[in-house]
């Protein structure tokens, strides 16, 4: 067959710098976003602060609205509540969206989320059997702070005995599910597997992905020796293609677990959104911050047409970067607003009555409702907080796994924990309820859970065992 040239028409998803920046900004917390923008303003003369702009963003939307309405419209909400000012007795009562009475939008973070909690929460939202979830919990316990699985499969199997008898093949199957959780690369057993997992999470048509995979599989140990110069020869490709693959590898995180739980317990968090009840209707608003005052420096923008060719080229490049940043910050807010509006519609009972009314909700359900991918929803809620009449809450608190009930419905794990808390608070202190009796009481209430599940929930709430709860006085 003779070589020949031909053209073809097709669609490919390319991970452009703009898309990479959008994904990066989406997963940042509010405080991390402000730091990122401050760095960009310092390095880009085309970015500036609009001094006369209000700090509080005016964007507001109806929490019950199913889509994007034009500004100023007031769609009819399917559910309404009577105004009751006494209901705002939680943290932040009497303050505006996103701030306290002193105008400080930050709130002290009492409890931080560890990597184990972050993974365990995702595990219980996945569609796994109780047996696989048990194996998954044991695997998560063996993952270190950097995100690597250091224990052997034999050690994992031993910790599961005698409740669960399983082999290496079954443990590996559950590990593959954990390795699909956020952050990408978690659950790897070595650096090679960690980088490969992060590459597999990228779009198939991402520039340099295939060559980067070959480097990880074949040359990762030899890379320090051959260097960038010998990389193209080893891969039998053009130097520019090898450089693209190398840049992609450098963008990966060799310690993915360090992304979670790195906030000190005495720091503050800034909510990204606020939920409040206005005239009986739940409203959602983006909380403004310094990023709401970000703008283009009109002085430098006007200099482009009068500058020399070299200076104009530099200014045009910085102007394009500034516009990308502004657009991606706006897209981040719009995505977050869609997710929070969906959470308000799904969990209005939680906002009204508290954790006992939290219904089972997964990332897949939210992604399907708003027309986004699960990974996008996961990034949107990562390290994000929302200011509500019940305090400043992490968005992940609006999600919960479900347990079947005798009535054919489902009860969330959070609601079951509240039921356990209520049973323990009302027990006879001289004869406290054992885990088995708590399970029987829940079953009588229509929620059938195993004793082991009750034990797990009780320990998660730091409730001592029945033996330690005995009080004779």
Tens of pLDDT, residue by residue over 271-315, are: 888 998 888 888 898 887 666 788 888 887 788 787 788 888 888
Are the beta carbons of 156 and 149 closer than 8 angstroms?
no
Strand ordering across the sheet containing 391-394 = 60-62, 281-286, 273-278, 385-388, 391-394
Give which of 298, 302, 324, 322 is closest to 311, Cα–Cα: 302
Are the beta carbons of 157 and 168 closer than 8 angstroms?
yes
- Cα(first)–Cα(last) distance of the chain, in Å? 94
Helices (H), 4-71: 17-26, 30-43
Mean pLDDT of 54-64: 44
pTM over 0.85: no
> Which domains does the chain carry?
40-67+95-108+268-355+368-394 (no CATH), 115-259 (no CATH), 402-460 (1.10.10.60)
pLDDT tens digits, 379-431: 888 888 898 888 888 888 888 765 555 554 556 667 777 788 888 888 887 78
Place of tokens 């992304």: 259
Helix, strand, coil in percent for the chain, rounding step 5: 50, 10, 40
- The whole-angstrom separation of Cα 325 and Cα 48 is 12
| Phi, then psi, of 49 in degrees rounded to 5 | -95, 135
- The whole-angstrom separation of Cα 177 and Cα 87 is 42
- The whole-angstrom separation of Cα 371 and Cα 12 is 20
Buried/exposed code over 422-447 (b: 16+ C-beta within 10 A; e: otherwise):
ebbeebeeeebbbbebbbebbeeeeb
Compute the mean pLDDT over every residue in the chain, rounded to the nearest whole number: 76
| Residue 245 or 55, more confident | 245
Give which of 363, 344, 463, 309 is closest to 124, Cα–Cα: 363
CA atoms within 13 A on the CB side of 231: 23
In the chain, what is the greatest distance between 2 CA atoms, to the nearest angstrom? 95
């Amino acid at each position: 067959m003779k070589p020949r040239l031909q053209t073809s028409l097709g669609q490919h998803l390319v991970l452009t710098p703009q898309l990479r920046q959008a994904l990066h900004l989406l997963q940042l917390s509010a405080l991390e976003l402000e730091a990122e923008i401050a760095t960009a303003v310092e390095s880009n003369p085309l970015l500036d602060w609009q001094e006369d702009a209000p700090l509080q963003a005016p964007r507001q939307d109806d929490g019950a609205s199913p889509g994007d309405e034009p500004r100023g419209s007031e769609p009819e909400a399917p559910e309404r509540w009577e105004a009751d000012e006494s209901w705002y007795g939680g943290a932040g009562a009497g303050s505006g969206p996103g701030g306290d009475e002193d105008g400080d939008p930050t709130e002290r973070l009492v409890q931080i989320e560890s990597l184990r909690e972050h993974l365990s929460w995702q595990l219980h939202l996945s569609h796994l059997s109780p047996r696989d979830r048990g194996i998954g919990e044991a695997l998560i316990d063996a993952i270190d702070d950097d995100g690597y699985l250091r224990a052997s499969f034999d050690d994992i199997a031993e910790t599961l005995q005698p409740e669960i008898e399983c082999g290496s093949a079954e443990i590996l199957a559950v590990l593959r599910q954990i390795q699909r959780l956020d952050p990408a690369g978690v659950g790897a057993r070595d650096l090679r597997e960690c980088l490969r997992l992060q590459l597999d999470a990228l779009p198939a048509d991402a520039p340099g992905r295939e060559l980067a995979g070959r480097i990880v599989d074949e040359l990762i140990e030899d890379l320090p020796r051959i260097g960038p110069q010998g990389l193209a020869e080893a891969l039998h490709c053009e130097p520019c293609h090898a450089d693209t693959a190398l840049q992609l590898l450098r963008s990966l995180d060799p310690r993915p677990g360090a992304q979670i739980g790195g906030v000190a317990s005495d720091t503050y968090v800034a909510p990204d959104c606020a939920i409040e009840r206005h005239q009986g209707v739940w409203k959602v608003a983006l909380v403004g911050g310094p990023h709401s005052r970000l703008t283009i420096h009109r002085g430098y923008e006007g200099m482009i047409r009068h500058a020399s060719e070299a200076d104009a080229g530099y200014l045009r490049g910085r102007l394009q970067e500034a516009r990308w940043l502004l657009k991606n910050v706006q897209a981040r807010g719009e995505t977050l607003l869609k997710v929070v509006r969906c959470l308000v519609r799904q969990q209005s009972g939680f906002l009204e009555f508290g954790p006992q009314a939290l219904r089972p909700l997964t990332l897949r359900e939210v992604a399907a409702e708003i027309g986004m991918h699960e990974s996008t929803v996961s990034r949107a809620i990562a390290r994000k907080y929302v200011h509500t009449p019940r305090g400043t809450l992490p968005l992940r608190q609006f999600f919960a796994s479900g347990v079947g009930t005798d009535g054919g419905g489902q009860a969330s794990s959070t609601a079951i924990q509240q039921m356990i808390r209520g049973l323990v608070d009302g027990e006879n202190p001289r004869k406290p309820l054992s885990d088995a009796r708590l399970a029987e009481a829940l079953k009588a209430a229509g929620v059938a859970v195993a004793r082991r599940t009750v034990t797990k929930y009780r320990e998660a709430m730091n409730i001592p065992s029945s033996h330690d709860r005995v009080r004779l006085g």
